[in-house]
Amino acid sequence: MTKTDNASAHIAAEYDQEIRRTIPYYDCFHDETISLIEAVVPEPENWLDTGCGTGTFIEKAAKAFPKTCFVLADPSMAMLSIAHGKLGASSKRIKVLEPCGTQDIAPGAKFDVISAIQSHHYLSNYERAKATKVCFDHLKNGGVYVTFENIRPASEKGTDIGKARWRNYQTSEGKDVDTAEKHINRFGVEYFPITVDEHLSLLRKAGFSVVEMLWYSYMQAGFYAIK
């Protein structure tokens, strides 16, 4: 695969356009997360979005929660630069951290909400567990953590079917067969999905008192957990 300026398959400048041709129902991840937070923490004081990418999600969330202060983290400087420009450098409600992965966020403020959308599947099992625990530790009691990630079906056959459906989606969105195939071949090589059961177990081991699956389609799933 061609190297990019972030962990995804797309350079940061093209991410917003290309991600929707790559991930089915991508905008649903944002809508479902906002809907959940409206039900669990209707007026969050502060919100950490880790793996924030280009800031598209927080641009939407900031409109839905006009009194909330947001902190954005991402390991890619290129992504953070786009997010910073998109969300407004002078906004008192938006703070952009120096580049860092979730697992490296330093102890400090506690948040009502932490979100991680399509970011932790790039981590090793050890890093993923550490990142999940960091999110737990940074939440206030009663705070909610929401994550969406690529997932691995429970069986080899299910994985093959999932990859075929995902490949077909990408070609239906205008990608040529070779480009779609190259993206599918990143599975388990450049990003490392785990199963739904493994996700739920990981959240329980981190210490969350409530652990639920929020959404599932194709080879992506969303989960939420309450401290």
| Token representation of residue 76 | 């890619």
Please work out, in degrees rounded to the nearest 5, the angle formed at the alpha carbon of residue 71 by the alpha carbons of 147 and 30: 35
* Residue 50, strand partner residues: 73, 116
Domain span at 107: 12-155+191-226
128 near 202, Cβ under 8 Å?
Answer: yes
In a domain, 124, yes or no: yes
In a domain, 163, yes or no: no
DSSP annotation of 213 reads: E
In a domain, 174, yes or no: no
SS (H, E, C) 143-205: EEEEEEEEECCCCHHHHHHHHHHHHHHHHHCCCCHHHHHHHHCCECCCECCECHHHHHHHHHH
Domain count, the chain: 1
In a domain, 107, yes or no: yes
In a domain, 179, yes or no: no
DSSP annotation of 7 reads: S
CA-to-CA separations, 32 to 4, 29, 43, 135, 145, in angstroms, rounded: 29, 5, 16, 19, 13
- pLDDT of 88 reads 74
Question: If residue 94 lies in a helix (H) or strand (E), which one and from where to where?
Answer: strand 94-96
In a domain, 184, yes or no: no
- pLDDT of 165 reads 97
Give the closest residue to 111 by CA, choosing from 142, 74, 67, 147.
142
Q: How would you classify residue 91: left for phi > 0, otherwise alpha for psi between -120 and 50, otherwise beta?
A: beta
Q: How much is the pTM? A: 0.93
Q: Which regions in the chain score pLDDT beneath 70?
A: 1-15, 89-90
Residue with structure tokens 């090589």? 189
Q: Could you give the strand order of the β-sheet that contains 210-217, starting from the edge strand earlier in sequence? A: 94-96, 69-73, 46-50, 111-117, 139-150, 220-226, 210-217
In a domain, 79, yes or no: yes
Q: What is the CATH number of the domain that holds 70?
A: 3.40.50.150
7 near 79, Cβ under 8 Å?
Answer: no
- pLDDT of 41 reads 96
